[in-house]
Amino acid sequence: MSQLKNDRYLRALQCLPVDYTPIWMMRQAGRYLPEYRQLRAKANDFMTMCQTPELACEVTLQPLRRFDLDAAIIFSDILTIPDAMGLGLYFEVGEGPKFAKSISQLSDIEKLPIPDPQLSLGYVMDAIRLTKKELNGKVPLIGFSGSPWTLATYMIEGGSSKSFTKIKKMLYSHPEALHLLLEKLATSVALYLNAQIEAGAQSIMIFDTWGGVLSHQSYQTFSLNYMQLILSNLKRGNKTQNVTSYVPVTFFTKGGGLWLDSIINTGCDAIGVDWTVNLSDIRQKGKVAVQGNLDPSILYADRQTIESNVDAVLKEYGTNNGHIFNLGHGIHQDTPVEHVQYLIEAVHQRSKRFHHD
């Protein structure tokens, strides 16, 4: 296996010195790219793209061909585990993910299997192996999963939700049922992520997309505790002089600014934050790397505005090691492609003065 030609992302995750701030973007392989839309039209169905390793590999590599990004993230979906549990994931145009079956009571949860990642999710591992080979050491490859809480919201709501009434009803009226579901999901996610690491993922990200809808008291109990359980079961390797011998883990709770201290104390390597968080608040706490945190909507603005906002984020983090530049959430599908180019160039150029190699 060839050595990494660009290891800045992994170095930043381990709070080691770099010559400029690395950048990748959530949903960097997606609908804002014309080549993605072409491939999606040919494949006819989102799940076909996820479950065909050659297509998933191609989509993963598309943004890397256009832009000088510092990491690739495997093209997949956070809802692969509930699908492997037999809930029947499908996508309706313009409506997002849906499940053929939803979970509403304890007996539904008791019947759910723990998926064997090599069997029911083997297509993800095949995609990782193929993509790793195609990348040929250009940049690191990120593997990921949804958090147990976030997966549970989709499974109980039957898809996306604005109010989360079904899962909150279970949380407050049958917490034991919800805990059983979250335990099963934590076990499944740990197995899945370890399989991704074994297949070649060099960094892991856990997306807690809906953690921010929980009350202050419930967040630790129903979201963070289960992410920490996963973390304790991951085969991260050992930190050595070779940055690729260790697999760093990033936790990202959208809307999680209230709980920075708790998230940092889990032992994760990096914390992803959205645009509501001041980076200097985390930097002063030390301990972990920080990923963030430009508002994706800034990419609708002109070049000068994008550059000034990049400057503001870089300045907020300052000259410390351990910053990975990213959007505060996924890139919008109608983002102009050339604006993404402006962003990446601005980060690479303007961040050099914050680093002393």
| Residue pLDDT, tens place only, 79-94 | 999 999 999 999 877 7
Q: Which tens digit of pLDDT belongs to each residue from 26-66?
A: 999 999 999 999 999 999 889 999 999 999 999 999 999 99
- Has 80 been labeled as part of a binding site? no
From the list 40, 83, 269, 342, the catalytic residue is: 40
- Say whether pLDDT at 98 is over 70: yes
- Say whether pLDDT at 2 is over 60: no
The reported pLDDT for the residue numbered 147 is: 98
Annotated active-site residue 77? The verdict is yes
Q: Which tens digit of pLDDT belongs to each residue from 237-267?
A: 999 989 999 999 999 999 999 999 999 999 9
Q: Which CATH class is domain 8-354?
A: alpha beta
The reported pLDDT for the residue numbered 357 is: 56
At 285, the pLDDT band (50, 70, 90 cuts) reads: confident
pTM: 0.97
Q: Which helix (H) or strand (E) holds 311?
A: helix 303-317
The reported pLDDT for the residue numbered 308 is: 98
The candidate with the shortest Cα–Cα distance to 344, out of 20, 68, 7, is 68
The reported pLDDT for the residue numbered 166 is: 97
From the list 8, 11, 27, 350, the catalytic residue is: 27
- Would you state the structure tokens that stand for residue 167, as one six-digit string? 């899962």
The reported pLDDT for the residue numbered 204 is: 98
Give per-residue burial for 77-90: e unless 16+ CB within 10 Å, then b: bbbbbbbbbebebe
Q: From CA 242, how far away is CA 234, in angstroms rounded?
A: 19
CB atoms within 10 A of CB 281: 14
- Has 291 been labeled as part of a binding site? no
